[in-house]
Amino acid sequence: MDASHSNINQKSLHRRDQVFRLSSMGYSQSKIASVLHISQSLISLDISLLREKGREALSDYLENELPLKYQSSVSKVCYSFETSSREVCCLKELWVIEIYWLYKFLANNT
């Protein structure tokens, strides 16, 4: 990759970071465009790309990391001598609720 291409990528990443920050602060797309002195269509594209990356990261987390965290936390609670079966059931129910809402979020945002 040549230096000019690398510089363009760095500028795009920096701009998307700024778009994300301002969007997270509640700025509208038109306000972000005004603040950054770029077109609203570019802001819209950046936000779409950021959403897609977020969906991919959340999906990866649900598929690859969450099951292990679930198993690990349940195992720790189950093998604790001071843990009642009621506490284990409560923990499992909390995990079911969390997983349900994460999948529901993904389904509504894809």
Amino acid type, 102? L
**How confident is the model over 51-85, as pLDDT tens digits?**
999 888 888 888 888 888 777 776 766 666 566 67
Which residue is it, tokens 């189950």?
Answer: 78
- Cβ atoms within 10 Å of 43's Cβ, excluding its own: 26
**How confident is the model over 81-106, as pLDDT tens digits?**
566 677 777 777 777 777 777 777 77
Domain map of the chain by residue range? 3-108
User: Looking at the whole model, is its pTM more than 0.95?
Assistant: no
Is residue 79 helix, strand or coil?
coil
